[in-house]
Chain A
Amino acid sequence: MSLNKEQVKEIAQLAKLSINDSEIEQSTIELNNILSLMAELGEIETDHVEPMAHPLEMSQRLREDVVSETDLSEEFQAIAPKTGKHHFLVPTVIE
């Protein structure tokens, strides 16, 4: 599966990465090189194989429903790029 520049631009948009026109050529080549590595997987027969999501054969452990966290908002907001009136601020979003 080989990508063209348009597809690379779309992927970048999904991933919120900007690739400008001077970089797009190089990026496309690099990505396609990596993808050709993946093509090998097509050789193996896996129709009856279960996908392995986890090395551990465990079930999800459940936590008791208790409040265990305290208010650390001051510490958390102290490291934020921009805050105001106890909120995290971003440029205005229009819905």
Chain B
Amino acid sequence: MTWETVIGLEIHSQLNTKSKIFSGASTEFGAEPNTQACAVDLGLPGVLPVLNKEAVNMALRFGLAVNAKINQHSIFARKNYFYPDLPKGYQISQFETPIVGKGVINISTEEGDSKMVGITRAHLEEDAGKSIHDLYEDYSAIDLNRAGTPLLEIVSEPDMRSAKEAVAYAKKIHALVQYIGICDGNMQEGSFRCDANVSIRKKGTEKLGTRAELKNINSFKFLEKAINIEIERQQDILEDGGEVIQETRLYDATKNETRSMRTKEEANDYRYFPDPDLLPVDIEDELLTEIKNSLPELPTEKKNRFVSEFGLSDYDAENLTAQKSLADYYEAMLNDGAEAKLAANWVMGELSAALNKNQMDVQDSPISARELSELVKRISDDTISGKIAKDVFKAMWEGNGRVDDIIESQGLKQMTDVGAIEDIIDGIIADNSQQVEQFKAGNTKLLGYFVGQVMKATQGKANPKQVNQILNDKLS
């Protein structure tokens, strides 16, 4: 039985406005509980919502960035249900006429495949507060600081066919919202939340299978795992002759499994109707033009430019442009004269590894773009080998000075004197006659052994390319 997976993602992106979508309370993260919940956020009797201009602008930025149809007349609707973190007993959201309509975005996977994923819609809504269940034994504690924070809910078409595609899409949207400055993308703090709708069907059929909605996923790694474990679960059920139930399931990262969620989401009739406290949002053409003109170069454009201008692979370009700050860092290196491919390897390799290990953002890197480009240039001009460069990188990271100073003080310059290298090679050939015979007999792997010996003798300063070339000449 060949199964086809169908995945759609619902992403809730917290817009980083200063104040809430319908009130003037602050949206700053990490405040003491309930200190940023004003009368409107608390749903006191008699309070009324007033719409935040910046939230609208941010939604429009997103819509324009994904080439979506903008609904210039959109309506806010009430989604009615009872839950203690929902103060009014309804969430102000958008139902029939969301501000952003159909759009599309291009994604590429690790394997290098490129694909267009449709965006069904994106709409504005308010976030709920938080329920904390472990503060008291007999009570759940409600913090309403988050209530009223603006959210942009981005709904994809069910166009993804694997967990990897879903992750690629999520990462793309994640990069995009940061690029256009509407969201800080902080998944740990909950500013960017992904829910996955997963179903499977027999390959070749049109009809969609019953889907499960997966929630409580706060990293791309877990997104991939959750989807894959869910696909397995659904396959097992169907292969046993059972039926998949439409439900919401929570992902448990420690057990790597999904379990059914029984609460507010249970068979709820939300009784959507247009919110009578708000009027229709009418967007003028002029505003759209203004916003369109103010958009920065978008990730896809930048990626394509990196491919065409710098000759990078799709995959490399995708990774470099995933974060605007990383892309800017890289381009600064190139502006300084670093070679494109080599610079790309170093940014995605040593630099990213060091940043990840120290849980840093590229903006906080102790090695500036200019300094890293210096290092890369020293490899390109054969001053040092790639291997030695790694040591120099470590020294720079620790703040031991600039590239040339480190190379000088530690005497790391590559040996380029061909004569000297030849002499050393002659010496090693003479001392290792057994291996020489085996090599000539056909054990070509031994070349590595000879190279190793030369490197040892030169304390790693011989130019590997030259060493290889000379050895090959002499041993043939």
Which A residues have a C-beta under 8 Å from some C-beta of B? 14, 16, 53-54, 56, 58-69, 71-73, 76-77, 82, 84-95
Closest CB in chain B relative to A12 CB, distance in Å: 13
With a cutoff of 8 Å between Cβ atoms, the chain A residues found around residue B55 in the complex are 65
Task: Kindly name the residue among A60, A71, A86 whose own CB sees the greatest number of chain B CB atoms within 10 A.
Answer: A60
What residues of chain A lie closer than 8 Å to B144, measured between beta carbons?
88
Supplied contacts A76-B42, A91-B140, A93-B131, 6 more A-B pairs, CB within 8 Å? A16-B82, A65-B55, A69-B23, A87-B132, A89-B142, A90-B140
Which of A67, A77, A84, A91 is the one whose CB lies under 8 Å from B24? A67
A13–chain B nearest beta-carbon distance, Å: 10
Main secondary structure of the interface of B (DSSP, over half): loop
Contact A63/B24 with A73-B37, A95-B250 known, Cβ cut-off 8 Å: yes
Given contacts A60-B281, A76-B42, contact A69 B26 (CB under 8 A): yes
Please pick, from B19, B82, B262, B269, the residue contacting A68 in the complex, using a CB distance under 8 A. B19
User: Which of B24, B42, B50, B139 has a CB less than 8 Å from the CB of A92?
Assistant: B139
Binary interface encoding of chain B residues 18-55 relative to chain A, with 1 for a CB under 8 A from any of its CBs, else 0: 11000111100000111111110010100000111111
Q: Which residues of B contact A72 (CB under 8 A)?
A: 38-39
Interface majority SS (helix, strand, loop, mixed), chain A: loop
A73-B37, A76-B42 given; A65·B139 CB < 8 A: no
Chain B nearest CB from A83 CB (Å) reads: 9
Docked Cα-Cα span, A72 to B144, in Å, equals 13
Among the listed stretches B272-280, B311-319, B423-431, B435-443, which one makes contact with chain A, having 4 or more residues with CB under 8 Å of it?
A: B272-280
* Least Cβ–Cβ distance between A86 and chain B, in angstroms: 5
Which residue of the partner chain B has the closest CB to A79?
A: B44
Q: What chain A residues lie within 8 Å of B276 (beta carbons)?
A: 53-54
Residues of A within 8 A of B25 (CB): 67, 69
**Bound CA span A93–B279, Å:** 35
Check B53–A64 contact: CB distance below 8 A: yes
Question: Of the candidates B18, B140, B280, which one forms a contact with A67 in the assembled complex, judged by CB atoms under 8 Å apart?
Answer: B18
Interface residues of B (CB under 8 A from A): 17-19, 23-26, 32-39, 42, 44, 50-56, 75-76, 82, 84, 131-133, 135-144, 250, 261-263, 269, 271, 274, 276, 278-282
In Å, the complex CA distance between A67 and B280 comes to 24
Which residues of chain B are near A86, meaning CB under 8 Å? 32-35, 143
Q: Hey, which chain B residues are within 8 Å of A54, CB to CB? A: 276, 279
Q: List 30 A-B contacts (CB under 8 A).
A: A59-B280, A60-B279, A60-B282, A61-B51, A62-B51, A62-B53, A63-B51, A63-B52, A63-B53, A65-B18, A65-B53, A65-B54, A67-B18, A69-B19, A69-B24, A73-B35, A84-B136, A84-B139, A85-B141, A86-B32, A86-B143, A87-B135, A88-B34, A88-B84, A89-B140, A92-B138, A93-B131, A93-B140, A94-B262, A95-B263
Q: Do the beta carbons of B42 and A87 come within 8 Å of each other?
A: no
CA distance A82 to B138 in the complex (A): 12
* Min CB gap A92→B, angstroms: 5
* A60 to B, closest residue via Cβ: B279
Q: Tell me the minimal C-beta distance from A87 to chain B in angstroms.
A: 4
Complex Cα distance, B133 from A92, in Å, reads 7
Contacts of A77 in B (CB 8 A): 34
Chain A min CB distance to B388 (Å): 52
Q: Is the CB of A87 within 8 A of B33?
A: yes
Assess the B38–A69 pair: CB atoms within 8 A. yes
Given contact pairs A86-B32, A87-B132, A65 touches B138 in the complex (Cβ within 8 A):
no
Q: How far is B144's CA from A31's CA once the two chains are assembled, in angstroms? A: 36
A17 to chain B, nearest CB (A): 11
A46 to B76, CA, bound (A): 24
Chain A residue contacts of B76, Cβ below 8 A: 60
Count chain A CB atoms within 10 A of each CB in B19, B23, B137, B281 and give the residue with the most: B19
Interface contact B133-A84, CB-CB below 8 Å: no
Chain A residues contacting B34 (CB-CB under 8 Å) are 73, 76-77, 86-88
A66 & B24 in contact (Cβ 8 Å cutoff): yes
**Which residue of chain B has the shortest Cβ distance to A56 in the bound complex?**
B279
Residue on A nearest B23 in the bound complex, by CB:
A69
Are A85 and B56 closer than 8 Å at their CB atoms?
Answer: no
For residue B119, give the distance in angstroms from its CB to the closest CB of chain A: 24
**Complex contacts, A88 vs chain B, CB 8 Å:** 34, 84, 141-142, 144
Interfacial chain A residues near B56, Cβ < 8 Å: 62
Residues of chain A lying within 8 A (CB to CB) of residue B133:
92-95
Inter-subunit contact A84/B141 (CB<8 Å): yes
Question: Which chain A residues border B139 with CB–CB below 8 Å?
Answer: 82, 84, 89-92
Chain A residues in 8 Å Cβ range of B42: 76
Point out the residues of chain A lying under 8 angstroms from B135, CB to CB.
Answer: 84-85, 87
Chain B residue numbers with a CB within 8 Å of A76 are 34, 37, 39, 42, 44
Q: Which residue of A lies closest to B19 (CB)?
A: A67
- B283, closest chain A residue (CB): A59
Q: B143 → chain A, closest Cβ, in Å? A: 6
A53 to B56, CA, bound (A): 21
In the bound complex, do residue A71 and residue B141 qualify as a contact, i.e. CB atoms below 8 Å apart?
no
**Cross-chain contact of A66 among B19, B32, B84 (Cβ < 8 A):** B19
